[in-house]
A and B are shown apart, each in its own frame.
Chain A
C-alpha cells in the first residue's frame, strides 16, 4: 500500500495515522449498528435502542473523549448518508442529541471510576440525547409545548436502553483486548477468496 502510493506522484499526501485508522474502524462499527437499527420498526419516531452508542462508550473508556467524539459525530454524519437521512429533520435531531450526550460524557468521565462505570455514562448520555432532541424539536420542528407530553415516553426509553447499552459496553470492556487495534491495519477488509 505504502509502496504503491509512493510510486504515484502526488502534490497532496494525506498521512493516515494509526489514530485515524482506529477511529475509522470504530466509526464503521457504529455506522453498521446505525444501519441495522434503521431496519427495526419503532412505534414512535425517536424511540430507538441507540446501539451505536455502545461503540461510543467503548471508545470513550478505551481511548478518551476526543476519539469518542470523532466516532459519535462520524457515525451521525456517515450513518445518515447511508440511510438517506442526511440533512433531513432526523439528522439534525440525531446531531443535536449526539452533541448533548458528548457534552455530558465530557463531564461524566471525571466521575470517580471506582464508583461509576459505563452504565452511568450510558444512562446520562441517553438522557442528554433525548434532552437535546426534544429541545431542538420544540425550538425548531414543533413550536408548541405539546412536544413535552412525549418526555415521559422518551425518558422511559432512555432509561431502559441507556441501561442495556451501558451493560453491553461494560461487558465488552470487561474482556481484555485480544490484540492492540491501533497497529493492525484493517485485516478484516481483505478480498474474499474465490
Chain B
C-alpha cells in the first residue's frame, strides 16, 4: 500500500509538503456548488421514491372492482366471495387480507402490502386485493 502511495505521488508529481487546512481548499463557489448538489440530492429522494408508495387499495371479485379503500384511515371491510367472506384490513399506508375462507391461506400469510402494484390473491374465494399508487411500481401484472 505504501509502495502504491509513493508510486502515485511520483506519477502525480506532488511533493510532500505541509498540508494546507482542508477548509482553505474550498473556494466560495465550491460551497455554492456543494450546497446546490445537496439540494438536488435531497429533492431527488421524494421525487423519485414517492411513485412507489401506495395510496389506495382496490378489492376485486372475479376481476370486477368491489370497493376502493383509501389508505389514509384504518378500517376493516368485508367482501362476499365465491365461498365465503374475505376480511380486508386497511391501516395508513398499508393493507392486508385479515381473514379468508380459502383452505391454504396464501393471501392471509402474505401479510401487509405496502408498495404500489403489490397484489394478494385469494383464489378460492375469487377475491384480489391490490394496492395502487399515483404511479405503479410495475407496468403490468399477468396471472
- CB within 8 Å: A-B pair count: 107
B9 to chain A, nearest CB (A): 9
For chain B, the bracket of interface size reads: 20 to 34
Cβ-based interface call for B103 (8 A): no
B27, A152: Cβ atoms closer than 8 Å? no
Please, what's the 1-or-0 string for B23-67, where 1 marks a CB less than 8 Å from any CB in chain A? 011111110011001101100110011001000000000000000
- By a CB distance below 8 angstroms, the chain B residues around A144 are 139
Q: Which residue in A29, A114, A155, A179 is a CB contact (below 8 Å) of B12?
A: A29
A61 to chain B, nearest CB (A): 12
The stretch among B13-21, B71-79, B88-96, B124-132 that forms the contact with chain A is B13-21
CA distance A33 to B12 in the complex (A): 12
Query: Given known contacts A177-B14, A178-B13, is B29 in contact with A117 (CB within 8 Å)?
Result: yes
Q: Which chain A residue shows the least CB distance to B16?
A: A175
Which A residues from 104 to 155 make CB contacts under 8 A with B? Answer: 111-112, 114-120, 123-124, 127, 144, 148-149, 151-152, 155
Q: How many residues of A contact B (CB 8 A)?
A: 45
B17, A175: Cβ atoms closer than 8 Å? yes
CA distance A123 to B32 in the complex (A): 11
Query: Given known contacts A119-B33, A120-B33, is B8 in contact with A159 (CB within 8 Å)?
Result: no
In the A-B complex, the 10 residue pairs with the smallest Cβ-Cβ separation, listed nearest first, are A115-B29, A178-B15, A116-B29, A170-B25, A29-B11, A119-B30, A175-B17, A117-B27, A152-B44, A120-B33
A sample of 7 cross-chain residue pairs with beta-carbon separation below 8 angstroms, ordered by A number, consists of: A26-B11, A33-B8, A117-B25, A123-B37, A163-B34, A167-B25, A178-B13
A residues sitting closer than 8 Å to B (CB atoms) are 25-26, 28-29, 32-33, 36, 55, 58, 111-112, 114-120, 123-124, 127, 144, 148-149, 151-152, 155-156, 158-159, 162-163, 166-167, 170-172, 174-179, 181, 188
